[in-house]
Amino acid sequence: MRINEYTLKFVLLLILQVLIWNFCNFSQFLMLAFLPAMILFLPVRRSAVSCMIIAFVCGFAADFLVGAPLGLSSLALVCVAFCRRGIIYLTLGHEVFARAEDFSPARQGVSKTILSITLATALFLLIYISVDSAFTRPLWIDALKWALSLLLSTPLGYYCTHLLYTDNLRSSSKWR
């Protein structure tokens, strides 16, 4: 039952990301993205290849539904999925994989979770913005867009991953 609930939440958050990209264009200097945090928080038991396939499908669906150039989000999300294991090792150590437990904000702590989400989102935005502009805009515009988007997307990504794992943590707690 948890897998179906997680999948439903994941799909609803993907639809929310598409709606934000479609209808909430605040500025040319801001892009709200929480898809990288969702890819980072896929269950640890998933292999790197399956995470990259999920990232590709999510990115392609988002690009198709938003009307963006097809493959732009997929490219950036697949890179995040490829670096996912390294980001988790860097921020949390190898214990998460040794215990094969889910990577959740409540178990790992707020500071480590925000650091890992920041790294994943920074990588996503760096690739997305640089490929989207094709280096035709001045660097300061892309750097400003990257910094503002990272500043606002990180707390949004934390909130979304907290939504993904809230009920799963309560139901699997061993301290009842």
Backbone φ, ψ for residue 39 (5° rounding): -70, -40
The answer to whether residue 76 scores a pLDDT higher than 80 is yes
CA distances from 13 to 19, 95, 138, 175 (A): 10, 28, 33, 29
Rounded Cα distance between 20 and 174, Å, is 37
Q: What pLDDT does residue 167 have?
A: 54
Give tens-digit pLDDT for 142-154.
999 999 999 999 9
Q: Domain-by-domain residue ranges, the chain?
A: 2-165
Rounded Cα distance between 75 and 65, Å, is 16
